Each structure stands twice: as C-alpha cells, then as structure tokens.
C-alpha cells in the first residue's frame, strides 16, 4: 500500500473547506459528487459551506474509472487542509471515495445528505455563552436553572450516506437566572468528535447509515478495520455520538446516545457547556446504554437497559440514588435483535416494548438498511419485576399492531394486578427509520392484566403525536395530563397539545383539552414540563410551564418559548430571542439551579 503515488491519492482529496451558515433558510446540501464531474460542494475532511448546488449522481462509471480519477488530480487545495497528510490517512480516503463513487448503490432519501441536512436540519457552529433578548413577557422565577436540548449536528459534511441519527451530538442550553437568559451551543466532546477534529476528517463508521448494501458494507468494514489496525481510532474508547437525550441522575448530568456510554457534562456559571468525559460507572458499564433511562421521583433510583445485535439482545439494569450501577439482568426471552429504543417503569415493574423493527441481513443484501420492520413479527410487551436478578418471572403479552418506540408513562392498578401504559403507537412502522416524514403515531392507552394475560387498548387521540412528556413527579404512578408534539411531518413539530387521560375513562373519545400551534412556517421540538412548585405535594399536576425551542423558517428567527400548562390555549407567557438557530433535533431536559450547583 505504501507504493501508492501521492499524485493518485490527491485525486480523492477534493478539499473545499466551508464554514457553517447561521442564517436560515438554507439551501439543501449537495451530496458528494462523482469525481469526473465538476463540483461546487466538494468533500475532504471539510466543514460545510453553501455554494450553488449542482446536479449530482450516485451511479458508478461503467468503465475507465481509474483514468478519469487520474485526470482530475489537479484540484485546488483548500487552505484549511493539512499539506502534510499522513500517508495512511490519504490511502484510506482513497478507499472511502472508491466506495462512495463506485460501490455504493444509489442513495435512499433517508441517507442522502442532500435531503437529510437540508434547510433547518443543516448544522450550525458552536456558540459561546451569549446574552439573549426578551421579546415577550417575563421569565417565571421557577425557571431559574437551564433548559438543554440535544440533537445531531455533524462536525463534517458526510462523505457518503448519512442518516439523521448519525450526527455528532450538540447541546443547546439556555441558562436562566433572575429573569435573564444566556444561550450556548456546544458539541458533546465525544471520543469520536475529538478524534475526527484532530484528524480534520470524518473517519468513524456511521452506526445507522454505514450499512448501505452488502458490497459497500463489507468494503466499509474493511476500511474501518484498516483504520483501527493503523491506530487511527480505538473502538474500545467509544464510537457513539451522544446526540439523543440528556439525563440527570446520581448528581450528574449526562448526554446520551444508545450506541455508547453516557458522557458526563456540566454547565459553567457563565452558561458554557463543558464535557467532562465518558463514564463507565467504575467499570461496571462496559458497553452501551439506552438514551431513555427512567428516574423514579420517589426512590431516586434510575432504571436503564441496552440492546444489541448479539445475545443477550436485551439487558436490564439500574442505579441506586447515588448513581452506583447494580448487576446486569440479561433478558434471554428476547430471542432476536430488536430495536428497543425506550421503556417504562411502574412502582414494581419495568415494561419493554418489542416492536416489529428488527435487525436483519435481508434488507442489507437487497441494497437497503439492515434495520427494518418485519410484517410477520408480532409485537409484544414484556413485564419484569424491576428488582429481579434474572428474567425467570418476566411475562410477555402479544399485542399485534402495537409498535412503540417512545413510552410516555406506566402505572399499576387493582393492587398491582393490572399495568397501564400510555405510549404513541406508530401506525406506519415500515417508515420508522427510512421515511420519518411518513410516520403517523397515535397515542394509545394499553392495559395488561397480569393474572389473566388479557390486553386491551384504545387511542387517546387520532392526531399525529409523539415526543410526549408528563410532569416528572408522576413517573411510574398514575398521571392525568400528557403534553405531546404535533408531527407536521415528523420529526418537525408544528405545535403542542395537552391530553387529559381521565376523559378516556368516561367516554372513549378525543382527549385533547388544550393546544398551541406555533404558526405558519414555525416548528419546534419536544416540549418539556417544568412545575411551578416541585416540592409542593398539594400542587396541581398541571401547575407549571411547557418550554421548547421554536424556529421560524420564513424569517429565520428562533425563540425559546414558555407556555402556561394550565391555559386552554397553552398561552405563551414569555419568549426569548435566540442568537442563532437550533437545528431540529431530539430530546431535552430542564435542570433546576440547585441541581446545577451539584455538578
């Protein structure tokens, strides 16, 4: 391999370093083009710039491709690219470009960066702590603390296929103190992020989009193996992006992604976000962990799990109040690799939804994704006592057609003989990962009789709802109110609705009792509930505020909005103008000031 001439290697190094843009709306990013064609948006360990888009293709030249590659060696080099690239790096970039231009099948929409990173999904630069302008009302005193939102924000323009789930995690935090707000956006400094930053190139395999047809997948695996053997990265230090959610437990704050360990973070007094590092909990958490741990508000214990492609396909575990991890509980009754993204807990149980989405080589051989819905599979719910040492007492309930990805809450009734769970059911599960814009999710109430094994279910709303939250004080116990994002389409959220579950107990009809649409061209993210008096046991369940980031795609403005959770219109009581756009993302969390001081 050392005999490769540098002139040939430079054929593949088509740099055009380009800065992120802050001003939306943004034109779609063009995917990497075939080398024989001129390119306005070229790729090499680069960041992102907006040039006039060009028509691109993912088809392979039928012949004489090497001659065409050699003919394009005299490309302009960007000033941002290192002139002294190590030879191994240059070689692997050659192989990357061969895969992209001549082996990859045509990109599906779900993994085409031209579409995935277009408009308000496009990445932004980091932003240091910046004071914000109040544009409406005043910030309530109970909001002293910080609201965080996690989401994907790729450090480099993807070289080849890219799925929304693969972007580097970026936290967008607004710190509130005495009615004033400071906003900050920072990458989670994962091992992947830092390694690629130092290399000035994307070198890690993508977890969700790296598998793009059997031949290309084998080729990418070979390249990744070569990078590992040459010491470019060490997979034992983590390949995750920590881009999904954020959680506070054991007096620590974590950025989470289900393909890796949690990353501890903290918020400085000036509002800056600092990554402390990857946490293995004293060596007791060796691999990955869910991005949706559940914290019992009474016991302060945290329950979590992990899933993977090899047995045991599901493993359950928990942490005590101080964040000390307890022993793993392998769930051997899950007999195939399933996509179990979330779960729920009650006072005595944990509930796992095994949906129809699973990992299979069938789709990969056909040039598609290895993660897809199996229409022959029957969805089911697994219930396990939450302190059991094994899964011998676990009960499974088959529930055809119930495809749960996110869980809202669960509780026990009838002296513990009945479990009730509320969750969005994805009615179009075949689009769950490939075409999120075609997803329709209906919030359902599911009742399981632990003695008879009977299951009943019915919808609480016919609206397309997901990214739902409740008052955190009611996790694992019966709650009345749910606050859901309105998909228009998913994952863009055009408004928030409030559901009253108690209405379903009288008459099974639409349970929406309040709503707030953000307006034409305006989209937000997952709402979050903040109680006015969290320590008042007599406070009403809905006595608090709903907070979210909202972006106006017409004007380009972004806001942090505060809505009155009791109001029938979810009235906006305060709005803060943000200094830059927050790309659409995933899950958030509000952390109170007294908890921030413990970090």
Domain assignment of residue 308, yes or no: no
**Measured distance CA(400)–CA(405) in Å, rounded:** 15
- 208-252 residue pLDDT tens: 776 777 888 889 999 999 999 999 999 999 999 999 999 999 999
| 170 domain-assigned | yes
Binding-site residues, in ranges, read 292, 341, 406, 587
pLDDT digits (tens, 9 = 90+) for 399-458: 999 999 999 999 999 999 999 999 999 998 988 878 888 999 999 999 999 999 999 999
Which of these, 358, 352, 343, lies nearest to 395 by C-alpha position?
A: 352
Percent over 70 (pLDDT), the chain: 84
> Where is 365: in which H helix or E strand?
helix 361-365
Number of domains in the chain: 1
User: Which pLDDT does position 431 carry in this prediction?
Assistant: 85
C-alpha distances in Å from residue 397, one per residue of 344, 446, 447: 15, 11, 11
Per-residue pLDDT, 27 = 37
What residues make up the domain containing 99? Answer: 86-243+245-250
Which strands sit side by side in the sheet containing 329-330, from one edge to the other? 294-295, 302-307, 314-319, 329-330
Selection from 451, 401, 407 nearest residue 430 by Cα: 401
Residue 60 lies in a domain: no
Strand partners, 405: none
Contacts of 504 (CB under 8 A, 6+ apart): 445, 458, 460, 511
34 occurs within a structural domain: no
Q: How far apart are CA 206 and CA 369, in angstroms?
A: 12
Residue 529 contacts residue 470 (beta carbons within 8 Å)? yes
The 10s digit of each residue's pLDDT in 156-201 is 988 889 999 999 999 999 999 999 999 999 999 999 999 999 999 9
Q: State percent of the chain over pLDDT 90.
A: 73
- Tell me, yes or no, whether 353 lies in a domain: no
The most distant pair of C-alpha atoms in the chain lies apart, rounded to whole Å, by 77
Q: SS3 for 228? A: helix
- Find the mean pLDDT for residues 567-596: 98
- Could you tell me which residues are annotated as the binding site for Fe cation? 292, 341, 406, 587
**Vertex 316 angle, CA 313 and 318, to 5°:** 155
**Would you say residue 120 lies in a domain?**
yes
Q: What is the three-class DSSP state of 174?
A: strand
Q: Is residue 137 a part of any domain in this protein?
A: yes
Cα R_g (the chain), whole angstroms: 24
Query: Is residue 502 assigned to a domain?
Result: no
What's the CA gap between 326 and 306, in Å, rounded?
14
List, for residues 333-388, the tens digit of each pLDDT value.
999 999 999 999 999 999 999 999 988 766 665 556 677 889 999 999 999 999 99
Q: Who's near 123: CB < 8 A, 6+ residues apart?
A: 20, 48, 117, 153, 154, 155, 167, 170, 583
Encode pLDDT of 67-111 as tens digits.
433 333 333 333 333 445 678 888 998 999 999 999 988 888 889
**DSSP state for residue 298 in the 8-state scheme:** T
Q: What angle do CA 397, 402, 408 make, to 5 degrees?
A: 95
Closest CA to 240 of 200, 295, 196: 196
CA 376/CA 358 separation, integer angstroms: 11
């Amino acid at each position: 391999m050392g005999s490769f001439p540098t002139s040939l290697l430079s054929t593949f190094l088509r740099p055009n370093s380009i800065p992120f843009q802050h001003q939306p709306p943004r034109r779609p990013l063009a995917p990497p083009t075939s080398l024989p064609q001129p390119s306005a948006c070229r790729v090499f360990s680069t960041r992102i710039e907006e040039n006039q888009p060009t028509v691109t293709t993912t088809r392979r030249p039928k012949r004489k491709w090497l001659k065409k590659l050699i003919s394009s060696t005299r490309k302009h080099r960007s000033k941002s690219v290192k002139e002294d690239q190590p030879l191994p790096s240059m070689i692997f970039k050659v192989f990357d470009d061969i895969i992209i231009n001549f082996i990859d099948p045509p990109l599906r929409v779900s993994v085409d960066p031209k579409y995935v990173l277009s408009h308000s999904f496009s990445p932004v630069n980091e932003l240091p702590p910046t004071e914000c302008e109040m544009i409406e009302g005043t910030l309530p005193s109970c909001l002293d603390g910080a609201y965080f939102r996690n989401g994907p924000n790729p450090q480099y323009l993807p070289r080849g296929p890219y799925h929304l789930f693969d972007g580097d995690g970026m936290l967008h935090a607004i710190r509130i103190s005495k009615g004033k707000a400071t906003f900050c956006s920072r990458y989670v400094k994962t091992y992947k992020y830092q390694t690629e930053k130092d290399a000035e190139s994307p070198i890690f395999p993508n977890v969700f989009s790296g598998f793009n047809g059997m031949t290309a997948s084998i080729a990418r695996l070979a390249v990744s193996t070569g990078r590992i053997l040459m010491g470019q990265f060490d997979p034992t230090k983590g390949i995750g992006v920590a881009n999904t959610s954020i959680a506070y437990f054991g007096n620590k704050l974590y950025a989470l992604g289900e393909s890796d360990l949690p990353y501890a973070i903290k918020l400085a007094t000036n509002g800056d976000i600092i990554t402390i590092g990857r946490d293995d909990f004293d060596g007791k958490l060796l691999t990955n962990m869910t991005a949706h741990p559940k914290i019992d508000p009474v016991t302060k214990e945290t329950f979590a799990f992990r899933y993977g492609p090899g047995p045991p396909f599901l493993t359950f575990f928990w942490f005590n109040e101080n964040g000390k991890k307890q022993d793993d509980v392998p769930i051997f009754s899950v007999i195939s690799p399933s996509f179990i993204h979330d779960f729920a807990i009650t006072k005595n149980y944990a509930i796992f939804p095994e949906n129809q989405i699973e990992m299979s080589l069938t789709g990969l051989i056909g040039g598609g994704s290895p993660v897809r819905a199996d229409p022959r599979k029957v969805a089911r719910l697994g219930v396990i006592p939450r302190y059991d040492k094994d899964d011998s007492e676990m009960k499974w309930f088959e529930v055809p057609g119930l495809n749960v990805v996110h869980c809202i809450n669960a509780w026990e009734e009838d002296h513990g003989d009945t479990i009730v769970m509320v969750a969005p059911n994805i009615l179009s599960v075949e689009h769950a990962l490939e075409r999120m814009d075609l997803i329709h999710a209906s919030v359902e109430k599911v009742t399981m009789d632990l003695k008879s094994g009977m299951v009943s279910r019915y919808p609480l709303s016919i609206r397309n709802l997901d990214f739902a939250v409740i008052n955190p004080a009611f996790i694992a116990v019966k709650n009345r109110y749910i606050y859901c994002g309105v998909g228009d389409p998913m994952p863009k959220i055009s408004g928030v609705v409030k559901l009253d579950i108690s209405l379903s107990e009288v008459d099974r009809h639409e349970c929406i009792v309040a709503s707030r649409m953000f307006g034409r061209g305006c989209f937000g993210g997952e709402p979050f509930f903040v109680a006015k008096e969290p320590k008042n046991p007599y406070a009403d369940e809905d006595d608090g505020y709903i907070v979210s980031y909202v972006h106006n795609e017409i004007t380009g403005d972004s806001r942090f909005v505060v809505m009155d959770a009791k109001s029938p219109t979810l009235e906006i009581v305060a709005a803060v103008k943000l200094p830059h756009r927050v790309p659409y993302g995933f899950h958030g969390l509000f952390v109170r000031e007294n908890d921030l001081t413990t970090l």
